[in-house]
């Protein structure tokens, strides 16, 4: 049976039972990461765990693990479960304590759970593109923290599904922020635009990879907020995430983008991403 990392041990998945008093369950009081595995190796894992520790710091959560320990336990999990292509999900909550909003006093140990999934790259979406819709961003003001509180994201994604789309691109008023589980980009006249890194978006690791690829290919990459109207008039649209990689959007709110074709800059970024898989996995 598949093994799960559960508070310091590798146990059979069926034995990983969480208390009803876990603060992740009660309050969503915790953080997570999602790390891709390609050919048995961890992709951009240091960047993911740096962000994990940053998220922990931002919510005052003491993890008692450093980056090397997190990478080591991830490697072990991938090896034990024999994962070739897939991902690791890891989350940490503020532990188990009687229900009170304030932090437990005395503090309790963080509860850490990690498991693996096995699946292939999203070749169909990468090749043919996906539909997306736009939706108002109703989330809190610390979207830079990869928090377990994902209700706004859940509702946005469900809205997408309702309208036969793969992703919902969110906007605060007129300003496009990011997808429900991805970063969003508009490409216009050879320039890639995406929301700047601040409290309104998650600083995506795939976004950073894309930025590096754009730099390598000398494609201008502007971290500038843009409007829904600008997005609707873009030459190409992309959403990116650890699982979606560089996914082209070929229809937005029912209107075709770039005559329904995947555009040339998107294709270049995808080529660069294929190379990054080889160079940034350890
Ligand atoms: C809200 C949100 N923004 C952006 C991303 C993309 O982040 P990454 O590229 O690190 O997976 C995600 C990924 O889950 C996300 O949930």
Task: Check the CA dihedral 25-107-63-177 and report its sign.
Answer: positive
**C-alpha 235 – ligand 1 centre gap (Å):** 23
pLDDT the model gives residue 66: 97
pLDDT the model gives residue 212: 98
pLDDT the model gives residue 72: 98
**Which residues have C-beta atoms less than 6 Å from ligand 1?**
34, 153, 178, 181-183, 202, 204-207, 240-242
**C-alpha 120 – ligand 1 centre gap (Å):** 18
Name which residue sits closest to atom 15 of ligand 1, judged by CA.
181
List of domains in the chain: 3-118 (3.30.470.10), 123-280 (3.20.10.10)
**3-state class of 77 per DSSP?**
helix
146 in catalytic set: yes
List the pLDDT tens digit at each of the 282 positions of the chain. Answer: 999 999 999 999 999 999 999 999 999 999 999 999 999 999 999 999 999 999 999 999 999 999 999 999 999 999 999 999 999 999 999 999 999 999 999 999 999 999 999 999 999 999 999 999 999 999 999 999 999 999 999 999 999 999 999 999 999 999 999 999 999 999 999 999 999 999 999 999 999 999 999 999 999 999 999 999 999 999 999 999 999 999 999 999 999 999 999 999 999 999 999 999 999 999
Q: Can you tell me which residue has the tokens 């188990």?
A: 96
Which 3-state string (H, E, C) describes 95-114? CECCCCCCCCCCCCCCEEEE
**C-alpha 157 – ligand 1 centre gap (Å):** 13
Q: Can you tell me which residue has the tokens 């809190």?
A: 140
Instruction: Please choose from 32, 157, 183 the residue to mutate so as to test ligand 1's pocket, defined by most ligand atoms within 8 A of CB.
Output: 183
pLDDT the model gives residue 227: 98
pLDDT the model gives residue 209: 98
Single pTM value for the model: 0.98
What span, in angstroms and rounded, lies between the C-alpha atoms of 259 and 146? 35
Asked whether 178 and 197 are in contact (CB, 8 A), the reply is: no
């Amino acid at each position: 049976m598949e093994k799960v990392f559960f508070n310091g041990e590798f146990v059979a998945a069926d034995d990983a039972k969480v208390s009803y008093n876990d603060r992740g369950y009660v309050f969503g009081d915790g953080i997570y990461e999602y790390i891709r595995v390609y050919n048995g190796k961890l992709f951009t894992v240091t960047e993911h765990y740096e962000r994990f520790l940053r998220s922990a710091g931002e919510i005052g959560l003491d993890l008692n693990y450093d980056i090397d320990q997190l990478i080591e336990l991830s490697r072990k999990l991938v090896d034990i479960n024999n994962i070739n292509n897939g991902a690791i999900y890891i989350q940490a909550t503020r532990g188990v304590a009687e229900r009170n909003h304030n932090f437990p006093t005395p503090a309790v140990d963080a509860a850490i759970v990690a498991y693996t999934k096995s699946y292939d790259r999203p070749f169909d979406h990468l090749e043919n593109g996906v539909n997306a819709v736009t939706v108002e961003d109703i989330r809190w003001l610390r979207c830079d923290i990869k928090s377990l509180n994902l209700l706004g994201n859940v509702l946005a994604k469900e809205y997408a599904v309702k309208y036969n789309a793969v992703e919902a691109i969110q906007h605060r008023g007129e300003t496009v922020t990011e997808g429900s589980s991805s970063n969003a980009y508009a490409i216009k006249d050879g320039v890639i635009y995406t929301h700047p890194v601040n409290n309104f978006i998650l600083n995506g690791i795939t976004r950073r990879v894309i930025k590096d690829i754009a730099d390598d290919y000398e494609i201008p990459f502007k971290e500038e907020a843009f409007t829904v109207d600008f997005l609707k008039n873009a030459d190409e649209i992309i959403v990116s995430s650890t699982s979606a990689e560089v996914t082209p959007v070929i229809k937005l709110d029912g209107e075709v983008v770039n005559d329904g074709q995947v555009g040339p800059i998107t294709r270049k970024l995808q080529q660069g991403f294929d190379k990054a898989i080889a160079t940034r996995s350890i």
